[in-house]
Structure 1
Amino acid sequence: MSKFTGFTSLAISYFLLVSTIVAATDVHYCDNNEEYEVKVQGVDIIPDPVARGAPATFSISANTDTEISSGKLVIEVSYFGWHIHSETHELCDETSCPVAVGDFVVEHSQVLPGYTPPGSYSLKMKMLDGRKKELTCIKFSFEIGFLSSVADI
C-alpha cells in the first residue's frame, strides 16, 4: 500500500468520525410565510445527544438587519408532542447586547436533571425585542440519551 493510499484512508476515516460527532440540527421557522427580522442560520447542540445530569449547550447562529438593544427568549419544550416545560430568559444574558447588525450567536447552557426521560424532544424558541415584537421563531428537535452522566451514579 502506498503512503498516499494510507493517508487517503486515514483522511476519509477522520471525516466520517467528525461528521458523525458534529451532526447538523434541522431548524424550521414557526411560520414559513413570516419575514422575521432575525434569520437563523443553524443550531449546534453539544453534546448530541444531550446527557442527563451533564451540561448541554445550545448555540444558535443568527443574523439581523437591525440593532437589538434588549429582549427575551421564550422557550417551550415538548416530549412526544406533549408540552412539558417553558422558560423565559433575558436576551442579553444569552448574547452580548446591544446586538449589532450582522451575525451573532445566542448561547444557552443548562444541566438537565438526572431523572429526565430519554428520548426525542422538540424545542420552540421565540426571540422578542424590548417591546415584545417577535423577531424570530424557530423549532427543532433534539435527543436526550439513554445513558446518564457519571454524576447520576
Structure 2
Amino acid sequence: MASAGNLLCVLAMAATAALAVASSWELCDKYKSYSVKIKDVEVLPDPVVSGQDAAFVVPASTSVPIKSGTVIVTVLWHNIPVHREVDDLCEKTKCPIAAGDFVLNSTQALPGFTPSGKYKIRMQIVQGSSLLACANIQFQIVWRRLDAAA
C-alpha cells in the first residue's frame, strides 16, 4: 500500500501536468484574406519555462515577393499588455522573401522572474501601412523546477 506522502506526490505531479496546456494559435481575423498565409506556429519548449529561451517558429507562404517589413509582437499576460517589440522582418527570416514558402524564427530569452501563467502573443507582419498577416498565439509559461536547476 502506498504511503500518504507518495500519494500526495503523485497527485501533485498529475495536477501540474494537467495545468500545462499546449500552445495554440488562430488568425486575428479568420474572415480576412491576409497576403501572408501562416501555416502553423510552433512554440518551443511547450510549455515555455521561466528563465529559459522561448522559440517561436512560424512557417508561412506568400504569393508575392516581400523586400522588407516589420514584425510587431505584443505580449499579454491575463489579457494585460506586458511587452511590445517591433523588429525588422529581415532579422526574423532571410530577405528578400521570394514568392512561396518561408519561415519566421524568433527566440526570446525569458528572465527567471517571469511569472507563470497563460500568455497570448499578437504577432503582426506589416509592410508600410499594409497588414500582411496577424495571428494570436496562446501559450503557457511555467516555473523552472528547483531540482532541474542543478
Structure 2 residue runs without a partner (length 5+): 1-20
Give the secondary-structure state (helix, strand or coil) at the position aligned to 1:128.
Answer: strand
Structure 1 residue runs without a partner (length 5+): 1-22
Paired residues, number: 130
Q: Is the 8 A contact 2:22 2:46 kept in 1?
A: no
After the TM superposition, which parts of structure 1 deviate over 3 Å for at least 4 consecutive aligned residues? 148-153
1:66-81 alignment, distance < 5 Å:
66-81=64-79
Give the secondary-structure state (helix, strand or coil) at the position aligned to 2:104.
Answer: strand
Q: Tell me the distance in 1 between the aligned counterparts of 2:147 and 2:53.
A: 12
Q: Is the 8 A contact 2:23 2:140 kept in 1?
A: no
| Residue aligning to 1:134 | 131
Q: Tell me the distance in 1 between the aligned counterparts of 2:148 and 2:91.
A: 27
Q: Tell me the distance in 1 between the aligned counterparts of 2:88 and 2:145.
A: 30
Relative distance call for 1:75 and 1:58 in structure 2 (3 A) is: same
Q: Amino acid of the residue matched to residue 33 of structure 1?
A: Y
| Residue aligning to 1:146 | 143
- Aligned residues with identical type, % of pairs: 35
**Deviation, structure 1 residue 116:** 0.5
Q: Tell me the distance in 2 between the aligned counterparts of 1:56 and 1:148.
A: 16
> Cα RMSD between the aligned structures?
2.1
**Deviation, structure 1 residue 133:** 1.1
Q: Is the 8 A contact 1:53 1:112 kept in 2?
A: yes
Q: Is the 8 A contact 1:59 1:105 kept in 2?
A: yes
Q: Is the 8 A contact 1:94 1:107 kept in 2?
A: yes
Greater mean alpha carbon deviation, residues 63-72 or residues 44-53: 44-53
Q: Is the 8 A contact 1:53 1:148 kept in 2?
A: no
Q: Is the 8 A contact 2:42 2:56 kept in 1?
A: yes
Q: Tell me the distance in 2 between the aligned counterparts of 1:69 and 1:37.
A: 14
TM-score (norm 1): 0.78
Relative distance call for 1:88 and 1:149 in structure 2 (3 A) is: farther
Relative distance call for 1:149 and 1:125 in structure 2 (3 A) is: farther
| Residue aligning to 2:9 | none
1:21-40 alignment, distance < 5 Å:
25-40=23-38
